Amino acid sequence: MKSSVILLFAVLLWSTCSQRVTEPSHESTIETDLRTYLSETCAQHNIPGLTVAITRNDSLIYSGAFGFESIETKEPLTTKHVFHWASVSKTFVATSVMQLWEQGKINLDEKVTAYLPYFRQNDARYNDITISQMLNHTSGIGDVDDYEWDKPQYDSGALERFVRSIASDKLLFAPGTDMRYSNTAYETLGDVISKISGMSFETYVRKNILDPLGMDTASFLYPDITETLRVRGHVWAGKPIVSEHYPYNRAHGPSSTLNSNVLEMTHYALAHLNRGIYQGRRILSDSIYDIWWKNTINIEDKPSIGFAWWLGERNGVKLVSHSGGDTGFRSIFLLVPERKISIILVSNYELVRTFDLATALLDILMGVKPQPLRRQIGFKFGEVMKSESVTAARRLYETISHDSLQRKLYLWEEDDAALAYPGYLFMENKMFADAIEMFRFNLEKFPNSGWAHAHLATGYANSGDLDSARLNYQKAIKLLPDEKYFREELDKLGK
């Protein structure tokens, strides 16, 4: 799942996420600290499964597998198990584009239509969209509404069909004037790679990245993954449950469908940390990294980004990273080039805050005491509501909110979206009554928020209570009269 809503402890003394791999008999202090932090985090957050690999210089210095392939099968995870990596896939798209740029087959400043004559948007400005704008999310192209994980396409024509299907979509802004994350732009780039190379996107990546790096198990084609190595995703429904669908659809391969284990992902990490070379095999020239790891935008209130790679800083060192999140899975691929460190982490649970977890592990590597991983308080509320009652959840919320020590264990809502998010996850699992309770509670905390009323209206609409939905959309409009979305949703409900 990729939601526009902001994504942000069921405490068990014995957790589903106990470590199941054999550790070295003589651990270093850092190895011990890493293992301890990960084990405690899994236990505190009731994480079904997690695998980690960390490199420094040219060596694997830590790897671990925690929990199970599925809480139903209880099959212990290993570092060889293959996970869905979601948007980390986009870095493979960017690597492919830079390879073709290096070969003179693509121009980063060229218009996309020069490579895909059938690419269209319902806005004449689509003719101005360049390859580089698609790479750094400044193209103005919108995002995917439904990935249809429940109706996957497996044939090689799926990607082009998707690109052709977006011809009626409208641009969000003039290309280059703003920034909005777009999976659709990356599907389009994948089709560009296919047309330039004369092979499918998945075949191109196999021949030019995976095979040269010895990533034999990894694939963008899920049917290629050995069944005994597959992992089930887990969603939140007041507790972790196994997801009904695996996130795979060839129409969305470039943005999302990399499948790999953490060990093979270290090959990819080492290639980039060594500026394009892994075990004597070069996939990119050294000079490429001065281009695509440099900030490419200067837009107020927008994060720094190269071509696909997000740029940041921690403990005085620069970070290059990309995270991923789809139904039942969360991942992070984090590089610290000046320290030649990589931290690679993937979980089969959609609530794991992988970037926060990875940076905590980086703190340990750099001799900084890490802070405990925190969760958004709304999920604790939802879990207690389901396991006990709404009254118990409300009482616990108030108790924690007034206890300075307990309060520090959680992330507190800064706006109505964060606290409402559990409600949307309830809705995805058709738990509409629970969703409405979450949205009601959210509205109590943000009574003057138009969006809080809209969240509740959405819950009512999905439950079939159209009168209550209309009433709350009307209240939302009064609070935010310029928000077109509210009027559009109200119109859909009819009179």
Residues 6+ apart with CB under 8 A from 119: 112, 113, 126, 163, 188
Residue range 175-196: mean pLDDT, rounded: 98
pLDDT band at 13 (very low <50, low <70, confident <90, very high): very low
What pLDDT, in 10s, does the model give residues 290-310? 999 999 999 999 999 999 999
290 and 231 co-located in one domain: yes
CA–CA gap between residue 41 and residue 472 (Å, rounded): 39
d(CA 122, CA 124): 7
Structural domain range at position 16: 1-373
What is the per-residue pLDDT across 21-80, written as a single tens digit (0 to 9) for each? 333 444 578 999 999 999 999 999 999 999 999 999 999 999 999 999 999 999 999 999
> What is the H or E stretch that residue 240 is in?
strand 240-242
pLDDT band at 15 (very low <50, low <70, confident <90, very high): very low
The domain that holds 261 is classified in CATH as 3.40.710.10
- pLDDT at residue 265 is higher than 60: yes
pLDDT of residue 206: 98
Is the pLDDT confidence value at 9 over 80?
no
What's the confidence (pLDDT) of residue 22? 36
Considering 356, 373, 390, which residue would you say is the last residue of a domain?
373
CA dist., res. 482 & res. 485, Å (int): 9
> Of the candidates 330, 347, 373, which is a domain's last residue?
373
For tokens 């499964």, the residue is 49
Whether residues 395 and 260 fall in one domain: no
Determine the pLDDT at residue 413.
86
**Is residue 234 predicted with pLDDT exceeding 80?**
yes
Cβ neighbors of 402 (< 8 A, separation 6 or more) are: none
pLDDT, position 18: 43
pLDDT tens across 411-467, in order? 998 888 889 999 999 999 999 999 999 999 999 999 999 999 999 999 999 999 999
Q: Is residue 45 within a helix (H) or strand (E), and if so which, with residue range?
A: helix 29-45
Instruction: Give the C-alpha separation, 106 to 108, whole Å.
Output: 6
CA 15 to each of CA 43, 75, 142: distance values in angstroms, whole numbers, following the listed order: 5, 14, 40
3-state secondary structure of 354: helix
pLDDT for residue 484 is more than 60: yes
Residues 396 and 329 in one domain: no
Q: Do both 122 and 11 map to the same domain?
A: yes
Both 347 and 411 in a single domain? no
Query: Which pLDDT score, from 0 to 100, does residue 441 have?
Result: 96
Region label for 300, one of left (φ > 0), alpha (ψ between -120 and 50) or beta (otherwise) = beta
Q: Report yes or no on whether pTM surpasses 0.85.
A: yes
User: Do 100 and 176 fall within a single domain?
Assistant: yes
Of 352, 373, 394, the last residue of a domain is: 373
What pLDDT is attached to residue 65?
98
- Confidence (pLDDT) at 357: 97
Residue 240 has pLDDT above 60, yes or no: yes
State yes or no: pLDDT of 5 exceeds 50: no
**390 plus 365 within the same structural domain:** no
How confident is the model at residue 495, as a pLDDT? Answer: 74
pLDDT score at 414: 83
Q: How far is CA 114 from the centre of its chain?
A: 31
In this structure, the number of other CB atoms found within 10 A of the CB of residue 198 comes to 8
Number of domains in the chain: 2
CATH number at residue 467: 1.25.40.10
Task: Give the closest residue to 98 by CA, choosing from 267, 345, 337, 296.
Answer: 296
CA–CA distance, 326 with 256 (Å, rounded to integer): 8
Please report the pLDDT score of residue 100 as a whole number: 98
What pLDDT is stored for residue 160 in this prediction?
Answer: 98
For residue 249, pLDDT beyond 50: yes
Mark whether 235 and 367 lie in a shared domain: yes
> What is the pLDDT averaged over residues 131-153?
96
**What pLDDT, in 10s, does the model give residues 350-408?**
999 999 999 999 999 999 999 999 999 999 999 999 999 999 999 999 999 999 999 99
Query: Between the CA of residue 195 and those of 91, 92, 93, 112, 200, what are the distances in Å?
Result: 19, 16, 14, 12, 8
Bridge partners (DSSP) of residue 342 are 55, 335
Is residue 39 domain-shared with residue 146, that is, in the same domain? yes
Q: Measuring CA to CA, which residue among 9, 3, 16 is closest to residue 242?
A: 16
- DSSP per position, 4-41: SSPP-----SS-TT-B-SPPPSS--HHHHHHHHHHHHH
Look up residue 228 and give its DSSP letter: G
Q: Is residue 265 packed enough to be buried (19+ CB in 10 Å), middle (13-18) or exposed (0-12)?
A: buried
User: Could you tell me if 361 and 466 lie in one domain?
Assistant: no
Q: Does 253 lie in the same domain as 289?
A: yes
Beta carbons of 280 and 331 less than 8 angstroms apart: no
Q: What is the mean predicted confidence (pLDDT) over 88-111?
A: 98
Please give the mean pLDDT across all residues of the chain.
93
Residues 278 and 332 grouped into a single domain: yes
Residue 274: C-alpha distances to residues 105, 265, 336, 480 (Å): 24, 14, 11, 51
Residue 210 has pLDDT above 50, yes or no: yes
Q: Alpha-carbon distance 392 to 387, whole Å?
A: 9
**Distance from C-alpha of 38 to C-alpha of 51, rounded to nearest angstrom:** 10
Q: Please state, as a whole number, how many other Cβ atoms lie within 10 Å of the Cβ of residue 29.
A: 8
